[in-house]
Amino acid sequence: KAGVTQTPRYLIKTRGQQVTLSCSPISGHRSVSWYQQTPGQGLQFLFEYFSETQRNKGNFPGRFSGRQFSNSRSEMNVSTLELGDSALYLCASSHDRPSTDTQYFGPGTRLTVL
Protein backbone atom coordinates (compact mmCIF):
# COMPACT_ATOMS: atom_id res chain seq x y z
CA LYS A 1 0.00 0.00 0.00
CA ALA A 2 1.47 3.37 -1.00
CA GLY A 3 2.23 5.81 1.81
CA VAL A 4 1.22 9.42 2.20
CA THR A 5 2.65 11.60 -0.54
CA GLN A 6 3.13 15.34 -0.51
CA THR A 7 3.95 17.64 -3.38
CA PRO A 8 6.01 19.60 -3.93
CA ARG A 9 8.78 18.58 -1.54
CA TYR A 10 10.48 21.96 -1.63
CA LEU A 11 9.16 25.39 -2.48
CA ILE A 12 10.60 28.89 -2.47
CA LYS A 13 8.25 31.87 -2.56
CA THR A 14 8.48 35.58 -1.84
CA ARG A 15 6.49 37.62 0.65
CA GLY A 16 2.98 38.44 -0.50
CA GLN A 17 2.65 35.47 -2.82
CA GLN A 18 0.34 32.56 -2.22
CA VAL A 19 1.10 28.86 -2.23
CA THR A 20 -0.83 25.59 -2.56
CA LEU A 21 0.46 22.33 -1.11
CA SER A 22 -0.95 18.93 -1.93
CA CYS A 23 -1.35 15.74 0.09
CA SER A 24 -2.47 12.32 -1.11
CA PRO A 25 -3.48 10.06 1.79
CA ILE A 26 -3.17 6.31 2.10
CA SER A 27 -5.89 4.58 0.11
CA GLY A 28 -8.98 4.11 2.26
CA HIS A 29 -8.10 6.84 4.76
CA ARG A 30 -10.72 9.55 5.01
CA SER A 31 -9.06 11.89 7.49
CA VAL A 32 -6.24 14.24 6.50
CA SER A 33 -4.56 16.52 9.02
CA TRP A 34 -2.07 19.28 8.36
CA TYR A 35 0.72 20.44 10.67
CA GLN A 36 3.28 23.23 10.60
CA GLN A 37 6.74 22.64 12.05
CA THR A 38 9.15 25.51 12.77
CA PRO A 39 12.24 25.70 14.97
CA GLY A 40 10.62 28.35 17.15
CA GLN A 41 7.05 27.14 17.57
CA GLY A 42 7.62 23.42 17.08
CA LEU A 43 4.84 21.23 15.72
CA GLN A 44 1.45 22.90 15.50
CA PHE A 45 -1.88 21.52 14.34
CA LEU A 46 -3.34 23.46 11.41
CA PHE A 47 -6.58 21.68 10.50
CA GLU A 48 -8.18 18.32 9.85
CA TYR A 49 -10.49 17.27 7.04
CA PHE A 50 -12.78 14.26 6.99
CA SER A 51 -15.02 13.35 4.06
CA GLU A 52 -14.51 16.73 2.39
CA THR A 53 -15.44 18.69 5.54
CA GLN A 54 -13.16 20.62 7.84
CA ARG A 55 -13.70 18.94 11.15
CA ASN A 56 -11.22 20.86 13.27
CA LYS A 57 -8.97 23.89 13.03
CA GLY A 58 -5.97 25.05 15.02
CA ASN A 59 -5.12 28.62 15.99
CA PHE A 60 -3.89 29.96 12.69
CA PRO A 61 -5.00 33.10 10.83
CA GLY A 62 -7.47 32.97 7.98
CA ARG A 63 -4.61 33.15 5.47
CA PHE A 64 -4.27 29.42 6.05
CA SER A 65 -7.02 27.40 4.42
CA GLY A 66 -7.55 23.97 3.04
CA ARG A 67 -9.91 21.64 1.32
CA GLN A 68 -10.44 17.97 0.70
CA PHE A 69 -11.67 16.33 -2.47
CA SER A 70 -13.97 13.37 -2.91
CA ASN A 71 -10.97 11.04 -3.34
CA SER A 72 -9.67 12.27 0.07
CA ARG A 73 -6.75 14.14 -1.46
CA SER A 74 -6.24 17.42 0.33
CA GLU A 75 -4.72 20.78 -0.44
CA MET A 76 -3.74 23.58 1.84
CA ASN A 77 -3.34 27.16 0.74
CA VAL A 78 -1.47 30.01 2.34
CA SER A 79 -2.20 33.47 0.98
CA THR A 80 -0.19 36.67 1.40
CA LEU A 81 2.90 34.80 2.55
CA GLU A 82 4.96 36.18 5.43
CA LEU A 83 8.55 35.37 6.37
CA GLY A 84 7.27 33.53 9.42
CA ASP A 85 5.40 31.06 7.23
CA SER A 86 8.71 29.42 6.35
CA ALA A 87 8.32 25.93 7.76
CA LEU A 88 8.02 22.24 7.14
CA TYR A 89 4.38 21.46 6.39
CA LEU A 90 3.39 17.90 7.20
CA CYS A 91 0.22 16.09 6.37
CA ALA A 92 -0.98 12.90 7.93
CA SER A 93 -3.78 10.52 7.09
CA SER A 94 -5.80 8.18 9.25
CA HIS A 95 -9.00 6.18 9.07
CA ASP A 96 -10.82 8.46 11.48
CA ARG A 97 -9.95 10.87 14.29
CA PRO A 98 -6.24 11.77 14.38
CA SER A 99 -6.34 11.99 18.16
CA THR A 100 -7.21 8.30 18.53
CA ASP A 101 -6.25 6.61 15.27
CA THR A 102 -2.75 5.87 14.04
CA GLN A 103 -1.67 8.72 11.81
CA TYR A 104 0.64 8.11 8.87
CA PHE A 105 2.74 11.10 7.94
CA GLY A 106 4.02 12.24 4.60
CA PRO A 107 7.61 13.41 4.06
CA GLY A 108 6.56 17.06 4.24
CA THR A 109 6.85 20.14 2.06
CA ARG A 110 9.58 22.55 3.06
CA LEU A 111 8.45 26.09 2.29
CA THR A 112 10.92 28.96 2.30
CA VAL A 113 9.57 32.49 2.11
CA LEU A 114 12.07 35.16 1.04
Q: Could you list the residues that contact another protein (CB under 8 A)?
A: 33, 42-45, 48, 55-56, 58, 88, 90, 92, 97-105, 107-108
Q: Answer whether the bond into residue 8 is a cis peptide, omega within 30°.
A: yes
Asked if 39 contacts 14 with a C-beta cutoff of 8 angstroms, the reply is no
Nearer to another protein, 22 or 60 (CB): 60
Tell me the closest approach of the beta carbon of residue 107 to another protein, in angstroms: 6
Tell me the closest approach of the beta carbon of residue 101 to another protein, in angstroms: 8
Beta strands, E only, the chain: 5-7, 10-13, 19-24, 31-38, 42-50, 53-57, 64-68, 74-78, 87-94, 104-105, 109-113
Tell me the closest approach of the beta carbon of residue 16 to another protein, in angstroms: 27
Nearer to another protein, 15 or 93 (CB): 93
Other CB atoms within a 10 A radius of the CB of residue 17 amount to 12
Nearer to another protein, 75 or 101 (CB): 101
